[in-house]
Amino acid sequence: MAAVSKFVNNHRPNLDNYIELYKHFHAHPELSLNESQTAAKIVSTLQSINSSLKITSGIGGHGLTAVHHNGSGPTILLRADIDALPVKELTGLPYASKAVMKDSSLPADHPDADKSKPLMHACGHDMHITSLLACAELLTCAADAWRGTVIYLFQPAEEKGSGARAMVADGLYEKIPVPDVVLGGHVMPFPAGRIGTTRGTAASSADSLAVTVYGRGGHASQPQNLLDPVVLASSIVLRLQTLVSREVNPADHAVCTVASLQAGDADNVVADEALLKVDLRAMNQDVRDRLAEGVRRIVKAECMASGCEKEPKFEVTRTFPLLVNGDEVMDRIENSFLDHFGDVDGYTGYAKDAAQLGGSEDFGELATAINKPSCFWTYGGTPHDLWASAEKAGRIREEIPINHSAKFAPQIMPTLQVAIDAYAVAALTWLAK
């Protein structure tokens, strides 16, 4: 494995150009399912890196792949996600996003179809894009030292949990070679220079539901003649809290959050219906199934208790699979990462017992769709002085911006170098001569 680390150190490209490229992507984000200009920039950059790459665009929307065939050997897929979020950036950076965008994926009659929203790369996908492009240059320049095939995959719509599934459904693995292993990573709010992996379940499942309950609206002065959906929805919100606190083993991680409750828009009119948006997270399939069943059971029971004349409506709006790092892949990745990054030393180095991902990921579907193993790692992007100050004050939760925060902005270096090296080291674990 020492040869792999030396190889990466000797062939890492000039990062000045990639720092500027990162700033470009950060300043020009695009919403999920709207990533056309991002994809075009990725394609032009890949073509400038290696004109012999076989590039296929428009997979499952704005997804794309670039295949580098370099003789006989294993086939490795490296994935980066490319979409941004509808968040107004508050970082104060000179290259902060000022972009606004309408969501062209929405139907014309959708209430948000004509709304322009501020947006930013609040989850670090700009870092993922840039580092994978730099990895492509590294492996291109050093092609004499490895054999096999590398697939660079740039995935849209990760934030909606639909991008990986859409690419697979659009014939992804009929357009590219089937990989032997699928690899990817994510920048997170811990110290820059730190990288880590987790064996087994690395990220929770996520299931989002839009639940509509139907009452009977009218004048707010006459509640005796109404069936108030706001009171009904409020009872549902409170009762749902018992799903985790009273129905899930405390040893099993689970979350049930009602992130939005909408009903009416006037202070003296009771609406006819209420909409609840529910987010469920679980670390194993049994708990996942029980949470989903519990939501339906509680909603239906509360509707019955309120005397509703119409059944509630349930719509699944988003779903992410459980993300699992298999032991066989981890045996190899752990050795390679430890050799290259070294053991944890202060705020830098590699930890093989990193915490599970706080959110959820659809990355795993690229592997499970073809019954292949995968590995997903995490790396930090928080400046050391900021981390040290927050840690000393016991205020890490309060002072360190997390993913999806309007203030989330990874420190470019050394974060970018760690991200590039992780892609390259992981790939060369299988490809090096």
Give the C-alpha separation, 325 to 355, whole Å. Answer: 13
Strand partners, 77: 151, 182
Q: Is 186 annotated as a binding residue?
A: yes
Instruction: Write down the catalytic residue from 35, 81, 83, 421.
Output: 83
Do β-strands 181-191 and 75-81 pair in parallel, antiparallel, or remain unpaired? parallel
Residues 6+ apart with CB under 8 A from 366: 77, 79, 153, 155, 164, 167, 168, 172, 182, 374
Closest CA to 210 of 230, 231, 233: 233
Closest CA to 60 of 37, 91, 88, 39: 39
Active-site residue flag, 35: no
Residue with tokens 């990062």: 15
Closest CA to 263 of 272, 255, 254: 272
Q: Is 219 annotated as a binding residue?
A: no
Give the C-alpha separation, 45 to 136, whole Å. Answer: 10
Active-site residue flag, 158: yes
Instruction: Write down the catalytic residue from 103, 137, 158, 228.
Output: 158
Measured between its terminal Cα atoms, the distance across the chain in Å is 11
**3-state DSSP assignment of residue 9:** helix
- Residue 200 phi/psi, 5-degree rounding, is 75, -140
CB 186 within 8 A of CB 376: yes
Q: Which sequence positions are flagged as catalytic?
A: 83, 158
Tell me the binding residues. Answer: 123, 125, 159, 186
Tell me the binding residues for Mn(2+). Answer: 123, 125, 159, 186
